[in-house]
Structure 1
Amino acid sequence: MPHKRAKHSDRVAKRFAAGQDLAPGGDDGFFSDMPKGAMRILQGAKVQEAYRAKLQAKKKAEQDAAAKAKTKAKVAADTNPSGGANEDASELTIRPGEKLRDFNARVEQAMASDIHASFRSATRSQINARKRERRKLRAAGIDPDADPEDADKEEAARKAKADKAAALQANEPSKADLKRQRQTIQQTGEIKDFAKASQVKKINDVAQAPPTLTRAPRGESVQAKTRKARLIAKITGNDEDEAENKVKQAEKARQKGRVPQKLAAATAAASSKKRKNDAHDATGEPSMARQRVLDEERQKAIQAYRQVKEKKIRESEFKRAKKA
């Protein structure tokens, strides 16, 4: 700019290179020794005019670019109505006088939807891949969230189980072998071991077996027989007490036939003796033996009481004598 000048070191170097005793130059005059601030004030109108011209040129360039873009978009819309937006986004160019920062912002704004869609698509692809991997692990019988060590143990156990199942399946005869064995039996009539009926009883066979009675069922009780006899007598119009007495007599006769005669007599004697003792105790007069035992216990208690009393008397007399 007109008011700018070289820095002091450059001016000193230039002056030193030019030497001394030189003729005055064309630029030497009024502004050669004037301070920079004064030069800026005096040349302010010129600087402002240059700045306004620059702004006007920039504005005109933007208007021309906008008019061209509008015309181009209109032509593209007339020729291809569906692809106008994509064409504008694909042909983004920097405008005359536009800063690079503004151009980058405009490009990002125009392509924001495409960038977001691409990002979501990539993220969704990763999520779907992880989900597919987890489904594969679950189908294989492995917990995807388990610890790696536990997963290794589970994998080893699963392989061992699969090997055991494969070994059992290999030991079992195939359908073709069974068919050949059946044909051999039909032709020769020989019964192999596998065709014999098993004699082992299972729990289900025992549980579903019919019941077996080891004892005869009990007869009716005396109360049931008496109740039934009274009911029949009431229905027929006979005496209920007489029917009850008949039932009791029949029951006594039945019991008498079942119990031996000596056992019945001993039982009757014991019961009569017990009744006599109970009656004797009820009068309040103990037997001679019991009376003798009671007297002995009474004498022992009296003797013990007297000994304790005499001991206390001696102790009290000894204390009084000691105090005196």
Structure 2
Amino acid sequence: MPHKRAKHSDRVAKRFSLGKDHAPGANDGFFSEMPKGAMRILQGAKVQEAHRAKLEAKKKAEQQALTKSAKGKAKASDGSAPDANDDATSELTIRPGEKLRDFNARVEQAMASDVHATFRSASRSKINARKRERRALRKAGIDPDADPEDAEQQESDRKAKADKAAALQANEISSADLKRQRQSFQQTGEIKDFAKASQVRKINDVAQAPPRLTRAPRGESVQAKTRKARLMAKITGNDEEEAERNVKQAEKARQKGRVPEKLAAANSLPAASKKRKSADSVQTAVEPSMARQRVLEEEREKAIKAYRQVKEKKIQQTGAKRLKKA
């Protein structure tokens, strides 16, 4: 490799073959016998100068590219044709041996951006003009999408809506009037009866009647139901005792409907038959059959016999152990 020095033995042999007291050559100071550290120090100015020149060339190229792009955008926005002295235009010449079809394709590809920019600018101007017209029509109160024949009808509808809104605003009660009415109610102490609420429900409606509890929650006691019924009767001005009586009757009817038919039939039986049945069941449970008694007796004898055998075996084992110890 050119940047690698030869071995020390080769350099010594070369120096011995060349001899001494020679005139300095052209390569002295680069890859001569001088150490690399000293060579870098001596050549530092040249290296720095070359680096600065490289940076300046790069910066100049970037500036030229920016100026070219800015010129291209300005030409595209103005819609003017490119200059004849431009580099891109100067390159658009037919090459030796090139077919006319290939040259046309190359020209179209090079000019595609300019054509697209020109087309977009023209279409954008038309769209903006159309938008301005529609905005002016809306500002005048005319629908731009409507037919010209319906313009009179739209104008009449608009006037009718405006008149209706003005009438509603005139009939609306002001906050001062509402405050005056509230103060008069507080001073006179007049209590109005609850009006019958309509079936129409709207947002921010005010309740004009108390709620009506038509169904009690599951598991509610009779006392709670009667208490609520008395309260509702008191609010509506009805008889409290009658409301309580109605609740109790409804509860009895509900409980009566839930009793099964078999349970009612069992409750209707006489007490003597029930006692007789219970006595018979106790007697049958106490006195088993003869076969059952015989089987139980055999099992008892077997258990006693097995127990005696185990007991005798244990006694014999303990006796043998005592004899061994003695």
Q: Which structure has the larger Rg over C-alpha atoms?
A: 1
The higher relative CO (CA closer than 8 Å, separation ≥ 6) is in 1
TM-score, L = length of structure 2: 0.29
TM-score, L = length of structure 1: 0.29
